[in-house]
Copies of this chain bind each other. A is one copy, B any other.
């Protein structure tokens, strides 16, 4: 049962998370680190790593000298902004059963901004994929991804576009998406976006403007996303740096 991959720490974290949400811990008190280490047969360091991650994501809190406790308010957060990865997963975490619709797929020359973002010459061809994520035919997220055509080694067909973007990058470009550098921009939806999302023109919405980087830290994709705020509320935990 105890194996590598995922790491011991991840296994311990998952195990504890399960017990936490299952209400296994009376009155919200979690056993001491020493006790957990003995029970699970791992070192205290491993326990501490797992607990640190749970604390960071808001599931528990610790008080030096006192103990470790379940953090009820933190458990309400379904998906944290810094850890949103695939929109399908985000929707599932919210209890939805998401579907994906590929709105459009085309090529276009890179504009100045996108070229700078992706370290291309202006005019280099981009593959543009527009996707809509829905819950029960209700549009929730609209995304547009632009990636350099020259990265593509295996041709992309329309049916491939359904894949999550990181999967597409792996399968067709042999690149592994590592992280996004994102800006959050408030907008009043234009006619086109509002139409796609099924809301009135000028509805206030959040948008992400972001650049995705691969493991080599090379920019591989430029993405813009719009959210239906009434269906998907973005949450996060803010704390002092270094805490």
Contacts and interface: CB of A to CB of B under 8 A. Distances in A.
A46 interface: no
B10 A239 contact: no
A211 B73 contact: yes
A133 interface: no
Nearest to A215: B63
Interface in A204-243: 204-206, 210-211, 213, 215-217, 219, 229, 233-242
Given A73-B181, A235-B181, A81 B83 contact: no
Interface stretch (A100-108, A139-147, A185-193): A185-193
Q: Which of A182, A233, A238 has the most CB of B within 10 A?
A: A238
A121 interface: no
Contact of A242 (B53, B204, B215, B242): B53
A234 B179 contact: no
A240 B83 contact: yes
A153 interface: no
A213 to B, nearest CB: 7
A75 to B, nearest CB: 11
Given A185-B233, A186-B206, A188-B204, A73 B238 contact: no
A84 interface: yes
Contacts of A233: 183-185
Interface in A20-76: 53, 57-58, 61, 63, 69, 71, 73-74, 76
Nearest to A86: B240
B82 A82 contact: yes
A238 to B, nearest CB: 4
18 contacts: A10-B242, A53-B242, A57-B241, A77-B181, A81-B82, A81-B184, A81-B238, A82-B238, A85-B240, A179-B237, A179-B238, A180-B239, A182-B236, A183-B235, A184-B233, A184-B235, A186-B206, A206-B206
Question: Which 5 A-B residue pairings sit nearest by Cβ, starting from the closest?
Answer: A83-B241, A179-B239, A186-B204, A180-B238, A184-B234
